[in-house]
Structure 1
């Protein structure tokens, strides 16, 4: 659980650190494209190594893989803490993603081997709670560290925690391994990684150039699509694939995963905007920005168990479709935020957003895995985790690109008559514009940058909400109406017994 908490902390601390990394004085002067890669490199490595890591655990022992993942994670955190430029930080973040991918499947496997019966359900509940604790603590911890130390401290703090966890794993955890190890899937890993990297590069590059017609934009995007298509074809021909596309042919499983991918796409994009809105446009300190994010985590902590109870009385579709619709509306609500929005209004929006997202992710994930035969639970978990992380990668790439394009167009009229070097910096990002405006004594330029950023956020909020609403539509169409409902006498609903999704049942139960 300490390792799980560590990974969730790492998933959230960077959003609070983005504004500092963009600062040329306090950080690395990163532009939006580099920040997209700093965020996306971790998630991309996480997504592509996830299913391979499970096979490694089956073959060499889950404790062995777990310990190796911790060592990789700690070493990469040390590298990130002392990175001399943005490229080094991006590389270190990618290696951290590899470490997290080695840890996560082993964590669940060790839980499933250690606990049985009611104890297993309790252990999975604690495991799920660690996510909410990490979501709540990550931004606050990052804010405290950034207010008192250099930016690298948000990564350096991982090292002693990982070392403590490594000792605990070595002393306390048996080295479980599957009696029938799954074969490794190097071709699948290379194709999926290459496809996602190429696709993400093309999408991010689109936000950095004036025209999209160049080969440096469409070439990588086309190559990424082709590689991912070949990846699916290869996995269909493998007898025991790490990522089994055949599972997506099941209507509820495929539709539910598509909806989760769209939701995580929207969450990643809106989180990217939110980080710059609080610290950049509103001028919050890192600590205040971290505290301002607590309602999101509290909402998620309340939403998951609330949805589980409601699903038992109603159905997965009746609970999760409205919840995902509300989540989409809260993301669209960013279109009404401005430089003078009351703080209470922002906090209320964040709480409702966290509540509604929490009511979707946990119940839908548990139901999709629980609906599979036990022998397919591991493969289903790999598919679900890969789809979710892929949604996050593409959301960051597309979200940041839209923000960059709209910001440049909005700031351009304010740059007439501005000296060339100042103009180029101001055009790069709102963070660079504020810095150069302060150095050049041009307060009007800083105000124009804030206005241009808010306009870009408003435009982005519209399409982000549309993507999340599409996910709600997918759930509405693909989830069965009966769900996991029980009748008044407490017997299973007859419709539910005919192949409907058994919502709320944890994997392996």
Structure 2
């Protein structure tokens, strides 16, 4: 039997501190996921390494980040999310120092892997802290603010990486995390409460190991597929192993008394379709960001910094609109916002696919990117609320960790699938054709997501609706 200690809902002042500090940590996590990409040529020279080797400064971070999200959520449920979140920030900050001081590529890759561990702990518990602090009728607004912060980080990452590398040096990308991370960790310990039903159930260690191994195999497989193709035997083997491990995890969770992932959450249609929706939405968006940056640089001859600036609508639109769209989700419900958002993302991506060419005016490309960003701003807070709002309070940590894990796996899948299409259509020999093919894959992913949205609210969401 599970014993729980119930903590009262946080008052409004504590809610604001929780939202602000959780958003700061998550901003750093997403920023560092992308900022290194524009510094790779400089890193190659400074560390005397190949670009292929330095790609692992991104892959090492991505893999540990995705693999450990569920473990971090489980630990937060048992040890207290506030303390675990602060610990994740401190680990992330310490690893950032190691990255900045790295004398060679091997040390940098190792430090980035540790940084990914801190990122997983930070992101999983940040989302859980916010969801526990805010009542269901205010979660849409909170997710909108949180989404604005992470959305801005997604776009500012490549820009800031280019600026810091060009004006200062590549270690500045990591040094900037140190004062912000330390201040946020101290702030969390002083101003944030757990606001949760902490579980005393024993840790499902076999479940954690199976789940982590499954995610590792799947993420490894899709990362390899981006370079070696989907027909590569190593890729096929990794993906098959991942599926088999997922099957073993499901069998384990059905039979154990204290499962890591209570399978009852998948009986709610809003939860399940929300999880599928964020996987496909994330796959599409990541493909758009990755290949639009490539198209701008290799198809329209932008420099790295200019390309980053041309992608600013992806960050500015969520920053301006997300709190409003999140609050609107609280008023009208998740399904209309998800449908509108995913439809807008589909339309914007389709424009990019149809009109891609060397002479595509930036006014058109920028407008299409802004439509995509508007769609993301509508859809993501609503998808988050659809998943987390469908579960009981005791399952919020699990739902938050699963949501974040699926989102990261979807991002890796999106890059791999669109890379295959890009290469098949001409690759860097015909960038416009390759970009068009990649955007067709992105359109297909988000188009499927439109029809997987919930057709009804979950029972939990209906019970929590004001006035009911």
TM-score by length of 2: 0.81
Q: Does 1:53 align with 2:29?
A: no
In the other structure, the counterpart of 2:205 is 186
Give the equivalent residue in structure 2 for 1:142: 161
Partner of 1:243, secondary structure, is coil
* 1:473 to 2:451 alignment: yes
Could you give the per-residue CA deviations for residues 171-224 of structure 1, whole angstroms, max 9, x where no partner exists? Answer: 545688855434323322322222222233333334544893x53232222212
Structure 1 residues 241-280: aligned runs within 5 Å: 241-280=259-298
Which residue of structure 1 lines up, in the alignment, with residue 336 of structure 2?
318
Query: 1:127 and 1:474, CA in 2 relative to 1: closer, same or farther beyond 3 A?
Result: closer
Please state how far the C-alpha of 1:19 moved relative to its aligned partner: 4.5
Displacement after TM superposition at 1:471 (Å):
0.7
Tell me which of 48, 67, 83 is aligned to 1:64: 83
1:30 match: 51
- Deviation of 1:349 after TM superposition, in Å, equals 1.4
Structure 2 alignment gaps of length 5 or more? 1-19
1:263-342 to 2 correspondences below 5 Å:
263-308=281-326, 311=329, 316-335=334-353, 336-342=355-361
Distance 1:247 1:288 in 2: 45
Partners of 2:50 and 2:104 in 1: CA distance: 9
Distance 1:318 1:275 in 2: 31
Q: Relative to structure 1, is the Cα distance of residues 97 and 235 closer, same or farther in structure 2, using a 3 angstrom cutoff?
A: farther
In structure 2, what is the equivalent of residue 426 of structure 1?
none
- Pair 1:456 & 2:434 matched: yes
Partners of 1:503 and 1:283 in 2: how far apart?
A: 54
Structure 1 residue runs of 5 or longer lacking an equivalent are 412-448, 484-497
Paired residue secondary structure (1:341):
coil
Secondary structure of the structure 2 residue equivalent to 1:184: coil
Q: Alpha carbons of 1:177 and 1:384: their partners in 2 closer, same or farther (altered >3 Å)?
A: closer
Once structures 1 and 2 are overlaid, which stretch shifts more, 148-157 or 277-286? 277-286
RMSD across aligned positions (CA): 3.6
Q: Is the 8 A contact 2:298 2:431 kept in 1?
A: no
Q: For the Cα contact (< 8 Å) 1:303–1:358, is it kept in 2? A: yes
Whose Rg is larger?
1
CA offset at residue 310 of structure 1? 5.2
Q: Distance in 2 between matches of 1:453 and 1:115?
A: 46
- Shifted more, 81-90 versus 159-168: the winner is 81-90
Q: Does residue 74 in structure 1 map to residue 65 in structure 2?
A: no
Q: Deviations over 1:208-249 (max 9, x none)?
A: 44893x532322222122112212222232333232333123
Rounded to whole Å, the distance in 2 between the matches of 1:105 and 1:262 is: 20
Per the TM alignment, residue 472 of structure 1 is displaced from its structure 2 partner at its CA by 0.6
Structure 1 length-normalised TM: 0.75
- The answer for the alignment partner of 2:184 in structure 1 is 165
Q: Is the 8 A contact 2:91 2:115 kept in 1?
A: yes
Give me the whole-angstrom Cα distance separating, in 2, the residues matched to 1:307 and 1:199: 33
1:455-493 deviations in whole A, cap 9, x for unaligned? 222111111210110111111xx422xx5xxxxxxxxxx
**Would you say the 8 A contact 2:287–2:414 is kept in 1?**
yes
Residue 322 of structure 1 and its aligned partner are, at CA, apart by 3.5
Deviation of 1:263 after TM superposition, in Å, equals: 0.7
CA drift of 1:324 comes to: 0.7
Instruction: Give deviations 1:417-473, integer Å, cap 9, x for gaps.
Output: xxxxxxxxxxxxxxxxxxxxxxxxxxxxxxxx4x42332221111112101101111
Q: Which moved more, 1:19-28 or 1:41-50?
A: 19-28
Equivalent residues in 2 for 1:110-149 (5 A)?
Answer: 110=129, 127-135=146-154, 137-149=156-168
* Paired residues of 1:13 and 1:139 also in contact (CA < 8 A): no
- Give, in angstroms, the shift of residue 353 of structure 1: 0.7
SS in 2 for 1:241: coil
Cα offset for 1:114? Answer: 6.7
After TM superposition, the structure 1 = structure 2 runs for residues 12-23 of structure 1, keeping only pairs within 5 Å, are 12=31, 14-15=33-34, 17-22=36-41
Distance 1:282 1:89 in 2: 32
